[in-house]
Amino acid sequence: MNDAPRPRRQRRSYSLRTRVAAAAALGAIILTALLGWLSIVAIQRNAITQADQELNVASRIVLMQPVIAAGVLSVVTPSRDLVVTVRDNGEVAASTLMRLPKLDPGSHTVTIDDTPYRIMTTTENQQPGRVVSMGIPLNDAYHATGQQRRWVLSAAGLAMVAAAALGWMFGGRAVRPIVDLTRQVGEHSGTGESRAPVNGSGVREAEQLADAVNSLLERVRAAQAETAAALETARDFAAVSAHELRTPLTAMRTDLEVLRTLDLDAEQRAEILADLQRSETRVEATLAALERLAAGELTNERDHVETDVGDLIDQSAHDAMRHFPELTVTIDTDPELIICGLPTGLRLAIDNALTNSARHGGATRALVAAHRTPAGVVISVDDDGSGIPADERDAVFQRFIRGSRATKGGSGLGLALVAQQAQLHGGRAYFEDSTLGGVRLVLEFPDR
């Protein structure tokens, strides 16, 4: 037995135009119901008031001689248009054919033989113990009230229908900006093309929604562009990486085949093993550089923090002289040089610059300078090495491109890492002639 819960049924949605028409009809129902109820109450009160006025007029005659008036009315008006009952000390002294019930002084509405009566009971200007009750039927008043109630209810129904119709008609015009906005958003969805911003002019809420949608679409387009660029970069990166790694891996496979199939003496085996070690070191260095490049691609503005450039340069200089004892590094920086950047990336760029000077340029002296200029911060690394030919100074910043004077075993990614860090900081990297005789690597970082 399948006990899986059934998906909830989606509630039927209605158009905004229908909702506006329904809201108008509901408002009309509430308003007309309230006005109708007040009108009916007012009509009923008016009928009672008219009956009381008629009784007051009749009482001016009847109360002069109520007993005689009751007798005369019994003979002259045997109908029930006006009925009188006189009681002395609680006993009926005189009455018309319709006898009124015993009531307290005042005005009352009482039903007698299925006929509603408005009755006025009084002791005014009467002898002690005498109570006079006069009443008139309310059938005609109630009939008129019923007709008026039907008119009110009919008017309420017509108002409701008219409100719904007008709400539907004018609601369509009112929600037209929302409908147009929905259509424009639908045209934008599913396409990567850059379209004109959606327009919700005409209604303030639609304009606010349009602004939010435009902002969202702009972020989506930017994200799509970044994703497309990242995918393209990843494809190129993977293709070039595979090409660069294929050579040392092929060499390693060849060396392993030689070791496995040939009978080599100790000197030959040592040579093959040394070649294997060089190839493995090259692969390892390439993979490490690729990892650092990938990490640089994943950084964003939130990773930038306040960084002391002078402290980073001091650390790089000491590490370079420890790894390359023949290299002497001199530092020339401003007393306090703080920028908003990536500390790890800046350190990596300076480390790679000094490593290239010592390993590939054969430099014995290097000068690392950092100063603030009107345009930003400039970091330069001068050396007395073999330098880089002028026609190669732009190309060596590309991935896996090595200069003609570089030593063997490099990955061709060191200067690409330097260029990447300069770009991540909004600046650029380039080479120029050095006063020490070699080459000068310049990193320019604008104020951010």
- Rounded to whole angstroms, the Cα distance separating 151 from 36 reads 10
Is the pLDDT at 17 greater than 70? The verdict is no
Torsion region of 372: left, alpha or beta (phi above 0 gives left; psi -120 to 50 gives alpha)? beta
Structure tokens at 16: 């905004």
Structure tokens at 380: 């330069």
- Rounded to whole angstroms, the Cα distance separating 424 from 445 reads 10
Taking residues 357-371, report their average pLDDT: 92
Half-sphere exposure of 398 (CA within 13 A, CB side): 8
Q: What is the pLDDT of residue 61?
A: 79
The sheet carrying 130-137 orders its strands as 91-95, 83-88, 130-137, 115-122, 106-112
Closest CA to 62 of 121, 128, 116: 121
- Rounded to whole angstroms, the Cα distance separating 331 from 381 reads 10
Lowest mean pLDDT among 267-276, 280-289, 341-350, 365-374: 280-289
Q: Are 308 and 341 in contact (CB under 8 A)?
A: no
| pTM of the predicted structure, to 2 decimals | 0.45
- Rounded to whole angstroms, the Cα distance separating 354 from 440 reads 11
Is the pLDDT at 117 greater than 50? The verdict is yes
Structure tokens at 170: 């004018």
Range with top average pLDDT, 278-292, 302-316, 365-379: 365-379
Mean pLDDT score of the chain: 79
Lowest mean pLDDT among 69-73, 77-81, 124-128, 263-267: 77-81
Is the pLDDT at 283 greater than 80? The verdict is no
CA diameter of the chain: 159
Is the pLDDT at 1 greater than 50? The verdict is no
Is the pLDDT at 334 greater than 70? The verdict is yes
Q: Are 161 and 143 in contact (CB under 8 A)?
A: no
Is the pLDDT at 397 greater than 70? The verdict is yes
Cβ-based burial of 30 (10 A; exposed 0-12, middle 13-18, buried ≥19)? exposed
Q: Are 93 and 106 in contact (CB under 8 A)?
A: no
Q: Are 153 and 41 in contact (CB under 8 A)?
A: no
Q: What is the pLDDT of residue 221?
A: 78
Q: Are 310 and 370 in contact (CB under 8 A)?
A: yes
pLDDT above 90: percentage of residues in the chain:
12
Name which residue leads in pLDDT, 336 or 209.
Answer: 336
Is the pLDDT at 362 greater than 50? The verdict is yes
Is the pLDDT at 11 greater than 70? The verdict is no
Is the pLDDT at 66 greater than 80? The verdict is no
Lowest mean pLDDT among 49-58, 306-315, 406-415: 406-415
Half-sphere exposure of 389 (CA within 13 A, CB side): 8
Q: Containing H/E element for 265?
A: none
- Rounded to whole angstroms, the Cα distance separating 377 from 340 reads 11
Q: What is the pLDDT of residue 371?
A: 94
Give, as one character, the DSSP assignment of residue 434.
-
Taking residues 115-142, report their average pLDDT: 85
- Rounded to whole angstroms, the Cα distance separating 7 from 409 reads 63
Lowest mean pLDDT among 55-64, 115-124, 303-312: 55-64
Q: Are 329 and 321 in contact (CB under 8 A)?
A: yes
Q: What is the pLDDT of residue 414?
A: 75
Is the pLDDT at 409 greater than 90? The verdict is no
- Rounded to whole angstroms, the Cα distance separating 104 from 122 reads 8
Taking residues 365-374, report their average pLDDT: 94
Lowest mean pLDDT among 66-75, 183-192, 242-251, 348-357: 183-192
Q: Are 417 and 348 in contact (CB under 8 A)?
A: yes
DSSP per position, 129-193: TEEEEEEEE-HHHHHHHHHHHHHHHHHHHHHHHHHHHHHHHHHHHHTHHHHHHHHHHHHHTT--S
Lowest mean pLDDT among 176-180, 289-293, 436-440: 289-293
State the residue for tokens 């060089």.
Answer: 278
Q: What is the pLDDT of residue 429?
A: 92
Residue 292 banded pLDDT, cuts 50, 70, 90: low
State the residue for tokens 């009952």.
Answer: 85
Taking residues 43-48, report their average pLDDT: 80
Lowest mean pLDDT among 161-165, 187-191, 363-367, 397-401: 187-191
Cα torsion at 408, 410, 413, 414 (round to 10°)?
-110
Lowest mean pLDDT among 36-45, 326-335, 339-348, 435-444: 36-45
